Structure 1
Amino acid sequence: MLSLILHGRKSLELQRCRNLLFAVNPLQYSSAFSSAADASLQDGRKGHNFTASYLVTSLGFTTKLAESISKKVSFEDKSNPQSVLSLLRSHGFRDSHISSIITNYPKLLTLDAESSLAPKLKFLKSRGASTSELTEILSKVPKILRIKKDKTLSRYYDFVREIVQADKSSSSEFEVSLPLPHGPSKIRNVFALRQLGMPQDLLFPLLISQSGAVNGKVRFEESLKKVLEMGFDPTTSRFVQALRMLYQMSEKTIAEKVNVYTRLGLSGEDVWEMFKKWPTFMTNSEKKITQTFETFSKCGLVEEEILSAFKKFPQCIGASEHNCKNIADSIETFLELGFSRDEFVMTVKRHPQCLGLSAELVKKKTEFLVKEMGWPIKAVVSNPSVLGNSMEKRMVPRCNVIKALMSKGLLGSELPSIHSVLVCTDQDFLKRYVRKYDDELLVAELMGIFTGGRVST
């Protein structure tokens, strides 16, 4: 394990150097059964609606977050969740702690406060955990509260605490005092990842994960070695994705996956380069892969162009299973907006991700750019990545600044290129169109438009 850690540190340093150098037939049911099913669905919706409403009113969650959580857990009355919240507050948890805990572990609200949660909190406090320490640790890793055995709970809690304390200290070294050789294999493995520099936000979910990617010894070390040799950075989520993929798949399965892609015309080297960009693409079935290929073909791309799109954006593989039945509508949307068929094909070639956008979103964004702003269709075709931009966070604020400048005659009569406005960082945009002016009042006005998202008049 030590050799793997040392090897991993060397690999990470090499990778950082590279980054600096290169800056990589339906069943028929009786009416009685159908009625029962409808009632069940209605009850389910009632529970989800109540849960979402409760989270908004009791914890101040946004409607969007509350609705997302209600898909994972639901209840139809507030007695149990209220007991859980009361218990947490009685142990010193503030609303900010509780919000973090429920966001990461919503099922906590369904646990029995007195018989399940209270004994665990009491046990941890009996071991000397202060209120501030307890609230901090459990806010970061609330799922350790689902551990039933005191001994295991104690080990996991202590491990998390030592990492948190080490990150607060000035020392970059982390020396764990737990008896790792006799401790759970998961802790030993997570410790190895910690020694490679993996941050808390990636490390702690692995510690309490039930996926098994950090269980055992031999399998974990073999997978870790492969991921490190490929040059994945342990400080990134892509490292975790790659580790999970290689841990879960046997050599035979991997060989079969690679073989599917090579039969389509990709080389083995191409496949592993795609793996480095998006590890989870390797989980796609042969059916999904061929279905994606056929979908791109229906879009008008030839084999070479499809393979190029795969290599450029492996995320698109498999995604089309949801869009395949609507592919004709997708094409028609672009054509109705004024794209020629050749322009549509060029857009897909340059930005395959656009196939993952809904027809409604494509229409909304294109009409905003072409009809409201005045850029030609060809500008969108040349810069199709703008279709992936957020309307609220990027398109509207930046375009409102441009509108304001043009209304003041500060940009002349010609609209700046779509590339200079939307295909750049916020800092570059502000430097180019806001901070360049010496007039402080003007700069303040433009910053207000940019940050407030107000449409200029």
Structure 2
Amino acid sequence: MFPLIIRGRNSPGELHKWRNFIASLTFLQNPSSFSSASAAADLTRRKGNTFTLSYLVESLGFTTKLAESILRKVTAEKTNSNPDSVLSLLRSHGFTDSHLSAIIRTYPRLLSLDAESSLAPKLRFLTSRGASTYELTEVLSKVPKILGIKKDKALSRYYDFVREMTVADNKSSEFEKLCRSLPEGSAQGNKLRNFLVLRDMGVPQRLLLPLLISNHHACCGKEKFEETLKKVVEMGFEPATYRFLEALRMLYLLSDKTIQEKLCFYQKLGFSEGEVWEMFKKNPSFLPLSEKNVLNSIEAYLGLGFSRDEFAVLVKCHPQCLNYSSELVKKKAEFLVKNMNWPVKALVSNPTVLGYNLEKRTIPRCNVIKALMSRGLLGSELPSIGSVLVCTDHAFLKRYVIKHDDDKELVANLMAIFTGDHVS
């Protein structure tokens, strides 16, 4: 096995409920804490983009951290934009908080555009073509990147396409009329025609629409698109899943010769051709990886104490492991094995933990476990890595935090650790 080596990885709504629960507990115990937090928030809002920050947080439900991150990116664009003006313009055209939340989450760069010189003319143009307030808000909240298109002709074409998919009757002949109006063989014409093919195969809007204003080359081809689509279907990918489109993109980008070279490389590592394709079905994006990156990844895993057989099991079960950077894998594995004392075999049995965000998910949960163990509330044995990391936020809180609701102070402390508000 591995002769070549021998030679040389929750619901926000649910979490919000628990945070509200603990907030009420904390308020009952220390009402003054809220006045200090409010003062800190007020101080932050006075630093610039006053209305925008408070609006993102209070009206759209963004966390302060996310709102500040978005505004930093907006200011980094170095334009003369005014986010407040952008929001005011959109609201004047009937966009609700729900629409704006969806737009900004999907396309935060919109706030960096100039309201008067860039956005207003496009909205006037679309309205002049007969777009109602309902249609305008529904279409643009689905694919806000349309507003980044500069030319009216392209803007009109993509807008019509999205409108037909989201607002009009999906069986309307307008789809076909729209496609026939495009030049034969053009990249844009091919993209729209291919989108119709994918839609008719069952690819859902939530997966199709984000591709519309993207550089997804597979959707711009014709003959090769058809050939690649046939391969993906024959391999058994389900059109309703993201992996279907990912497989389509990967096979489209790789030539037959390159694919054969990839198969030979993995066979030298000890994997059969059938195993490689099974790995591809689980994670299509691993196939284009360079040989150098794969060998570096293997070296990193072996250096962390994984045996060659354990690495083979890890990759066949969760090929995404090959996509993770060696530096991050080392950091995560060392924390889980050395800091938390879970054995390497626990990672092999639960490989998805290597893909979880260390700071946002792994460390907060592990710190909760440490706090419970220090109080003797979990017994002498460390809980399984799956019960701590693989479950949802709701399940974790119910299992390790809310069960102690007879001790309000303990629950408050555990929630502070879990949400990152704990000060050690």
Per the shorter chain, which TM-score range? 0.7 to 0.9
Whole-angstrom distance in 2 between the partners of 1:102 and 1:305: 43
| Cα deviation digits, residues 191-211 of structure 1 (max 9, x gap) | 111111121111111111123
Q: Tell me what 1:105 maps to.
A: 107
Paired residue for 2:143?
141
1:236 aligns with 2:237: no
- 1:235 aligned partner, one-letter code: A
Which of these residues, 250, 255, 259, is aligned with residue 250 of structure 1? 255
Change (3 A) 1:72 1:234: farther
SS in structure 1 at match of 2:370: helix
Match of 2:367 in 1: 364
Is the contact between residue 81 and residue 111 of structure 2 (CA under 8 Å) also seen in structure 1?
A: no
- Distance of 1:84 and 1:248 partners within structure 2: 38
* Residues 1:246 and 1:369: Cα distance change in structure 2 (over 3 Å): farther
Displacement of 1:97 in angstroms is 1.7
Equivalent-residue separation in structure 1 for 2:262 and 2:245 (angstroms) = 20
Match of 2:53 in 1: 56
Which deviates more from structure 2 when the two are superposed, residues 174-183 or residues 345-354?
174-183
Q: CA, structure 1 residues 363+89, in 2 after alignment: closer, same or farther (shift >3 Å)? A: closer
Shift of 1:163: 1.3
- How far does the alpha carbon of each residue in 1:213-250 deviate from its partner, in whole angstroms, 9 at most, with x for none? 31121222222222111111111111121122122222
Q: Secondary structure at the match of 2:139?
A: helix
Partner of 1:388: 389
Partner of 2:348: 349
- For the structure 1 residues 362 and 402, does the alpha-carbon distance in structure 2 shift closer, same or farther, using more than 3 Å as the test? closer
Q: Please list, as runs of the form range in 1=range in 2, the aligned pairs for 1:105-184 lying within 5 A after superposition.
A: 105-165=107-167, 173=171, 175=173, 176-183=175-182, 184=189
User: Which structure 2 residues correspond to residues 278-297 of structure 1 after superposition, within 5 A?
Assistant: 278-297=283-302
Which amino acid letter does the alignment assign opposite residue 337 of structure 2? F
Structure 1 residues 333 and 147 mapped into 2: Cα distance closer, same or farther (>3 Å)? closer
Name the CA distance, whole Å, in 2 between partners of 1:87 and 1:290. Answer: 52
Kept in 1: contact 2:228–2:252 (CA 8 A): yes
CA distance in structure 2 between the partners assigned to 1:174 and 1:270 by the alignment: 44
C-alpha displacement of 1:129: 0.8
Distance change in 2, residues 1:68/1:211 (3 Å): farther
Shift of 1:71: 6.1
Normalized against structure 2, the TM-score is what?
Answer: 0.72
CA distances 1:353-394 after superposition (whole Å, capped 9, x unpaired): 3445648457425525755541554652xxx32342468532
Task: Give the alignment's TM-score, normalised by structure 1.
Answer: 0.67
**1:393 partner letter:** H
SS in structure 1 of the partner of residue 306 of structure 2: coil
Distance 2:124 2:292 in 1: 52
Q: Closer, same or farther in 2 for the Cα pair 1:107/1:284, shift >3 Å?
A: same
Rounded to whole Å, the distance in 1 between the matches of 2:347 and 2:154 is: 51
Higher relative contact order (CA 8 A, sep 6+): 2
Task: Give the Cα separation in 2 of the matches to 1:292 and 1:204.
Answer: 34
- AA aligned to 1:247 is Y
Q: Secondary structure at the match of 2:343?
A: helix
* CA shift for structure 1 position 54: 6.0
Distance in 1 between residues matched to 2:264 and 2:197, nearest whole Å:
33
| Structure 1 segments (4+ residues) deviating >6 Å | none
Alignment-derived partner of residue 264 in structure 1:
269
Query: What value does the CA root-mean-square deviation take over the aligned residues?
Result: 3.4
**Number of aligned positions between the proteins:** 350
Question: Is 2:317 aligned against 1:312?
Answer: yes
Q: Distance in 2 between matches of 1:131 and 1:332?
A: 52
Moved more, 181-190 or 194-203: 181-190
Distance 2:217 2:229 in 1: 13
* The one of 209, 212, 222 aligned to 1:217: 222
Instruction: Return the offset for 1:306.
Output: 1.1
Deviation at 1:400, TM superposition (A): 4.0
Query: Which position in structure 2 is the counterpart of 1:65?
Result: 66
CA distance in 1, matches of 2:329, 2:366: 19
> What residue number does 1:35 align with?
none
Instruction: Tell me how far apart the structure 2 counterparts of residues 208 and 162 of structure 1 sit (CA, whole Å).
Output: 16
2: distance between equivalents of 1:82 and 1:401? 40
- Judging changes above 3 Å, is the alpha-carbon distance between structure 1 residues 319 and 376 closer, same or farther for their aligned structure 2 residues? farther
Mark the runs of 5 or more structure 1 residues left unpaired by the alignment.
1-45, 409-448
Task: Say if 2:81 and 2:113, in contact at 8 Å, map to a contact too.
Answer: no
Task: Give the CA deviation at 1:317.
Answer: 1.1
Alpha-carbon deviation of 1:77? 9.2
Tell me which residue corresponds to 1:444: none
